[in-house]
Structure 1
Amino acid sequence: MPGIGRGGRRYAALSTAALLMATAAACGSGSGSTNGPITIGISLPLSGPVADASKPAYEGYKVWVEQINAEGGLLGRQVELKVLDDGFDQNTVVSNYNRLISQDRVDLLLGTFSSKLNLPASSVAERNKMLYVEPSGGAEEIFTRGYEYLFFAQPSTSLDLPEQFVNYIASLPADQRPRTAAYPTQDDPNTDVTIEEFRERLTELGVESVYNEKYAPETVNFDPIASAIARENPDLVIHGAVAANDGAGLVKALQKQDFSPDMMFQTNAPSLVGSYPQAVGEANTEGVFTTTAWSPESTYQGNAEFVKAYTESYGSPPTDDAANAYTAAQVLGEAVEQVGSLDQTALADWLHSHPVSTIVGSLRWDERGVPEGDMLLAQWQQGNLEFILPEGQQTVPEAVNPKPGWS
């Protein structure tokens, strides 16, 4: 039975009294109360190297809470977020989720940011048999552990992220394809998988790898990396960036080297429509590719309302990270409404057997919690993040190729 979204969220036959009885009988409810608010626990890297990307995710969660509470909450109860800062540290994120479950006794969980953090955090949730819907963190290793309570709230995982860009390269005439490529990447479970998949698939198309190195998450000086790339003079740079900090850091370092590749793809960073252009200079965004899970222009149910609400609350349009968090909350909320309780096993079972309508389309999961869908290929053109592929989602007729030089 398909998910029905926020508009038709309640079983009409259930009275308020019946809802309260169902909640009282639920397993996994942290507070044990059926009268107070439903508390959702989250750990996020609100400080540290990816705080610029994590902050919009937090805001996406908050927009969903405001909307759901305006409609009466979940199971007739208002919803509150309990959010802890993990500073992008794996040990801290584990401590935070343990605290949220055992000390704060939250009723539900939502995921954190990046594969690096979601990998250990999801293990905490699984040990405690609590549903864990993550907004980001598509590394393949997250989904190879046989977890039953884990679900990813994007259309596809890191292994599938290169598909649309590789398809674009394959569609080009032979004399317009890149001949060589460099693959710098932050050492992160998410980007590691994605960049290796890029390298393998582009090598199959005849693109020679001339640079393939990882850098530490705390890296702030990208000059040595840029110098090494410039010496190899690749036609294409595929950069595994986690946030605007490292995305912009490499661009600025390449500018110092006076090296501008004909084509450039970066993960994550270019989708930060507010901070990325500010960090690299709007003119220097031109022609940069990325992949996103979501488009502000899409016509999926509830998307226009989300964009409007977020923009009104925070003064700028939402980013991909904000939309991913909102989507994860949609998935969690729909499962609770459809099951009619906070029973964690029942929630996971329901998601394994039902699709959910979200702002990124209808999501359905396999037994691993891996979604079945397609990402979007985007490119910065004339100060806007436009969409190139797949067909039917384009906002511009063609891609910019080659990329203009830096300004």
Structure 2
Amino acid sequence: MHEANQRLRAGRNRNRRPRVGRLRSDHCLNPVRKYSPSAPQTITVGTLYAGSGSYATSSLPEYAGLKFWINQVNSQGGVYVNAYHKRIKVQLVSYNDQSSPTTATNLYNQLITVNHVNILVADFGSVLTSVAVPLAEENKMLLFDQTGTGASFFSPNNPYIVLTSLPTSGLWPDSLAQYLIQSGKKHVAIVYDTNDFDQSQDTTLVTKLKAAGINPVYNNGVATSTSNYTVILHDIAATNPDAVIELGYPNNDIAFLQALKSSSDHFPMVFTIFPGQLPQLFESNFGGAAGLAGLYTYPAPPLLNRPQVNYGLSLAQFETAYQKSTGQSANFLSVAGYNTGLVIQKTLGTATSLSQLGLRQAVSSFSGKISTLDGTFQINNEGAQIGETLPVGQFSVGSNGNLEVNLVTPLSQ
């Protein structure tokens, strides 16, 4: 009996040893299984907005569009995070930079080094984005750049930036140059703001015109803070142009068009950028649709409807939901903010980790594969947007008295 018990215990021991060995082998082969981090309680998205100052009219609707996206995903239980195979609520951390690049520098730094946000999103435009680019690169933090399109932001050695909702500004004038050349404009006058956004457009436009044998009769830069264009218009008129191109921000466009309206100058073609993005703002400044009739611009959603959407809400769905959620009509900047959220959503749903380079690799993996209400999202290897291109259109007054836009160059998805 004693020997039988010993044999029984020995048998049990022999049976146990392989199981212990297998457990140890599994642990050695896959140590992450024991020490894998738990999912965070929230995904923190850090951004800035301009609650006042010269960029507020563009920054606030863009910020509202991003907040709309956060509310949408949180109402569904959160954004799906592939790294943890579950939905996680999104928490917004935001600060008011008051349209000041200096203030923005300090606040971007706070988001990165104090708040330690998971996702960093830039404020509107190139001026307020320009200070975020070197900070993000220095801290190895991927910057989701919404509408800062300056060509100088993108370089082969910086993987920490992705432009989400507009093509890099060096590509914008492709359609404008095409129209000027094809419509036979020979005497083109260009005034541009001396910032990354507008200078890169001027460079592209002048290069393409000269390649077609068209030397601008006027091509001068002015400070972004310029608010009086009376003397500039007088100088332009002296060159007798058949097309006048003003490249600036909304406040510049408004000041330029007000000066033109007050003058006795009339030109066959006048082009400015932001009426196509913020038509309600410009209608309110120029007496409704009739005050903008004949003006050329880059039309953008909602003026521009891109029907081939395979990710996120369609334009009609977005306009209805945004109006219901915010009580405000959508404009392009609210579309841009929502579109940034969609890019973040796809990134988190694709990436296998929340490491910043892991997020960047995820973005590259779906580049060219998703089409939103803003167009086909496609970046180059530097993170610059090369999809979502903008055509040229001309405003007119519809039969119902509303502002309409007629495309004069083809629309690409």
Aligned mates of 1:140, 1:259 — CA distance in 2: 33
Aligned partner (choices 347, 360, 363) of residue 377 of structure 2:
363
Partner of 1:262: 268
Q: 1:392: how far off?
A: 5.6
Q: 1:256: how far off?
A: 1.9
Aligned mates of 1:315, 1:78 — CA distance in 2: 24
Q: 1:186: how far off?
A: 1.9
Partner of 1:388: 407
Partner of 1:106: 117
Q: Is the 8 A contact 1:273 1:385 kept in 2?
A: no
Q: 1:22: how far off?
A: 12
Q: 1:156 to 1:187 in 2, by over 3 A?
A: same
Q: How does 1:3-402 map to 2 (within 5 A)?
A: 25=37, 34-35=40-41, 37-74=42-79, 75=81, 76-144=87-155, 146-154=157-165, 156-172=167-183, 177-243=184-250, 245-282=251-288, 283-292=290-299, 294-295=301-302, 296-299=304-307, 300-301=309-310, 302-303=313-314, 304-339=316-351, 341-355=353-367, 356-373=370-387, 374-382=389-397, 383-388=402-407, 391=410
Aligned mates of 2:372, 2:172 — CA distance in 1: 19
C-alpha distance after superposition, 1:132-177 (max 9, x if no partner): 11111222111126211211113521111011122223333xxxx2
Aligned mates of 1:280, 1:387 — CA distance in 2: 19
Identity %: 25
Q: 1:392 to 1:367 in 2, by over 3 A?
A: closer
Instruction: Decide which moves more: 82-91 or 158-167.
Output: 82-91
State the superposition RMSD in angstroms. 2.6
Q: 1:58 to 1:385 in 2, by over 3 A?
A: farther
Larger Rg: 2
Q: 1:158 to 1:43 in 2, by over 3 A?
A: same
Q: 1:284: how far off?
A: 2.4
Unaligned runs of 5+ in 1: 1-20, 27-32, 395-407
Comparing both chains, which one has the higher relative contact order based on Cα–Cα distances under 8 Å and sequence gaps of 6 or more?
1
Partner of 1:217, secondary structure, is coil
Aligned mates of 1:223, 1:277 — CA distance in 2: 21
Aligned mates of 1:117, 1:43 — CA distance in 2: 9
Aligned mates of 2:206, 2:275 — CA distance in 1: 19
Instruction: Decide which moves more: 338-347 or 127-136.
Output: 338-347
Q: Is the 8 A contact 2:146 2:166 kept in 1?
A: no
Q: 1:392 to 1:43 in 2, by over 3 A?
A: closer
Instruction: Decide which moves more: 272-281 or 225-234.
Output: 225-234
**How many residues are treated as equivalent by the alignment?**
362
Instruction: Decide which moves more: 248-257 or 347-356.
Output: 347-356
Q: 1:190: how far off?
A: 0.6
Residue identity in the other structure for 2:317: E
Query: TM-score if structure 1 supplies the norm length?
Result: 0.81
Partner of 2:117, secondary structure, is coil
Partner of 1:11: none
C-alpha distance after superposition, 1:344-370 (max 9, x if no partner): 221111112222442223323221002
Residue identity in the other structure for 1:273: P
Q: 1:23: how far off?
A: 13
Q: Is the 8 A contact 2:299 2:405 kept in 1?
A: no
Q: 1:60 to 1:24 in 2, by over 3 A?
A: farther
Aligned mates of 1:22, 1:48 — CA distance in 2: 52
Aligned mates of 1:116, 1:248 — CA distance in 2: 18
Q: 1:113 to 1:216 in 2, by over 3 A?
A: same
Q: 1:45 to 1:385 in 2, by over 3 A?
A: farther
